[in-house]
Amino acid sequence: MLSAIMEDYLKAIYYLQNEADDRVRTSVLAEYMDVEQPTVTSMMKKLSERDFVLYEPYRGVELTDTGVPIALEIIRHHRLLERYLTDHLEYDWAEVHDEADRLEHHISSKFADRIAEQLGQPAVDPHGDPIPTANLDVSGAKDGERLADHQVGDSVQIVRVPDTDPDLLRYLSKHGILPGTVVDVVEIAPFGMVTLDPDSGDGPVALPEEVACSISTQSLTQSSH
């Protein structure tokens, strides 16, 4: 059918396409996949030949209608596994990513559906990322605003945090910053650092700009732009 590696490329293209809604450049994909550019070029040719992507040399790549559901299926597997590992197998949310990243390519749809059933058809994974339904619908997912885009004084609810860095996740949970947590924005430094006061009462936490940009939120007060 399709190798685990090819699935990973499709997943990456899906992700990067949503990040910057434009065709995905070879260089961006190479960086993200941690391979050299020629590797990406040759892979794009293969995926393009099999109609999973639309590839125009020197112009970047995008998923076709054949490629999208494959990416979504893998994403569904990944996020269900993450949910399952934390909820049923007592994994810490910081450590689920790697295990899910391997298993996502090897579980059957049946396996995915069974754990979804066991979990009560969850809508999001432990990091707040939306889980596509069995028929690969993602319409329920809301985008949210970037934490970095709020203003001092705003009260916001955390919707999503990035899932790949275990150390960051441990740091965030230690300071009470989890999906669902309500925080007040107490300071935004000129170099972009955001200081928060979580309602858990653990005291203020400062986050560098990069992190604040990758955390997705929902406004509770209306003062944000």
- Residues near a copy of itself (CB under 8 A) are 85, 88-91, 99, 102-103, 105-108, 110-111, 114-115, 118
**CA dihedral sign of residues 216, 222, 224, 225:** positive
Q: Does 188 bind DNA (CB under 7 A)?
A: no
Exposed e or buried b per residue across 37-65, where buried means at least 16 C-beta atoms within 10 angstroms of its C-beta: eeebeebbeebbeeebbbbeeeebbbbee
Specify the residue, 6 or 13, whose C-beta has the smaller distance to DNA.
Answer: 6
Task: Enter the tokens of residue 123.
Answer: 């809508």
Site membership for DNA, residue 5 (CB under 7 A): yes
Nearer to a copy of itself, 118 or 218 (CB): 118
Neighbours of 13 (CB within 10 A): 27
In whole angstroms, the minimum distance from the beta carbon of 43 to DNA comes to 5
Residue among 113 and 149 whose Cβ is closer to a copy of itself: 113
Edge-first strand listing for the sheet containing 182-188: 145-146, 216-219, 155-160, 182-188, 194-198, 205-207
Interface of this chain with DNA, residues 24 to 83, rule: CB under 7 A: 25-28, 34-46, 55, 57-58, 60
CB of 35 or CB of 186, closer to DNA = 35
Which residue, 101 or 209, is less far from a copy of itself as judged by CB?
101
| CB distance 61 to 55 below 8 Å | yes
The answer to whether 102 touches 88, Cβ cutoff 8 Å, is no
Instruction: Report the SS3 class of residue 140.
Output: coil
Residues in the interface with DNA (CB under 7 A) total: 24
Element (H, E) at 5: helix 4-19
Beta carbons of 184 and 153 less than 8 angstroms apart: yes
Q: How far is the CB of 90 from a copy of itself (least distance, A)?
A: 7
Query: Out of a copy of itself, DNA, none, which partner does residue 42 contact, by CB within 5 to 8 A per kind?
Result: DNA
Kindly tell me which residue out of 6, 107, 124, 211 binds DNA, with binding defined by CB under 7 A: 6
Nearer to a copy of itself, 23 or 105 (CB): 105
Using CB under 7 A as the criterion, which residues of the chain lie in contact with DNA when the complex forms?
3, 5-6, 25-28, 34-46, 55, 57-58, 60
